[in-house]
Amino acid sequence: MRDREFLASLRHQEQQFRAGREGAHPFIVAFEGRFIRRMRALGVPMFAHEVWRMPERQDELYRAGRSKAKAGQSPHNFGCAVDLVHGTQGWNLNDQQWSLIGHVGKEVALSLGVKLVWGGDWKFYDPAHWELADWRVIRGVFQSNPDVRTVPEALALLAKERSQV
């Protein structure tokens, strides 16, 4: 898993900009950044394959059997999830390697005080996937307020609604 030479490469640097993060939940962005830095300190190159996912892409993955969620049913569609993969091996890691990644990710989430769910704990094994435990609350804001376009807008509206209660 370790590949310090690749960590220093231009290709690894370019991977860090692959995933669209515009409008993503700040907790997901913070988790991703700290997780990648932690893995880098261990000599393991990781990158975010996807954060924000367009509905068309979600349906494509669903039709291909690579997702159980259709468009609008995935936390990626609301910027509330991240898929983190190895820089050279992608998803081709063994169970022990994914277990290490899960352990590090859970430590990082705990250090940030962020409640995340790891896809490596699911029956539909998806060890690259991390999502906010309460992402459905944000989805509800998007669905009931069509003018809301980004997670920060959804969070602001949610805070406003809660302060009026």
Q: Which of 96, 101, 77, 68 is nearest to 24 (CA)?
A: 77
Question: In the prediction, which pLDDT does 142 show?
Answer: 87
SS3 helix, strand, coil % of the chain, rounded to 5? 50, 10, 40
Structure tokens at 137: 């609350």
| Predicted TM-score of the model (pTM) | 0.91
Which H or E run contains 39? helix 26-41
Please give the share of the chain, as a percent, with pLDDT higher than 70. Answer: 99
Residues 6+ apart with CB under 8 A from 17: none
Listed residue (49, 50, 52, 48) closest to 77, CA to CA? 52
| Position 161 pLDDT exceeds 90 | no
- What confidence tier does 8 reach under pLDDT thresholds 50, 70, 90? very high
Taking only the tens place, the pLDDT of each residue in 109-131 is 999 999 999 999 999 899 999 99
Structure tokens at 130: 């991390």
Residue 3 near residue 90, CB atoms below 8 Å = no
- Alpha carbon distance 41, 39 (integer Å): 5
pLDDT digits (tens, 9 = 90+) for 41-89: 999 999 999 999 999 999 999 999 989 999 999 999 999 999 999 999 9
Pairing of strands 81-86, 46-50: antiparallel
How far from the centroid of its chain's Cα atoms is residue 4's Cα?
Answer: 24
How do the domains of the chain map onto residue ranges? 4-163
CATH topology assigned to domain 4-163: Muramoyl-pentapeptide Carboxypeptidase; domain 2 (3.30.1380)
